[in-house]
């Protein structure tokens, strides 16, 4: 495959991924029956404590 064909394929994959994620997001029942790794994408990220001051004491 040429570089242009690879780029076109990557863009098509990304568009399909975005479409599927939108479908899951708009349909809670569909999301409820999705694979765990798909449901994981819609879980809120854990909060991260603020970083300590890098300058030190």
Q: Are 8 and 1 in contact (CB under 8 A)?
A: no
- CA 52 – CA 44 distance, rounded (Å): 23
Tell me the pTM. 0.66
Helix, strand, coil % in the chain, rounded to nearest 5: 60, 0, 40
Res 57 pLDDT > 80: no
Model confidence at 48, in pLDDT bands (50, 70, 90)? confident
């Amino acid at each position: 495959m040429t570089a242009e064909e690879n780029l076109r394929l990557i863009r098509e994959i990304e568009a399909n991924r975005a479409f599927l994620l939108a479908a899951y997001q708009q349909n809670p029942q569909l999301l409820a029956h999705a694979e765990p790794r798909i449901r994981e994408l819609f879980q809120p990220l854990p909060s991260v404590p603020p970083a300590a001051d890098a300058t030190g004491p």
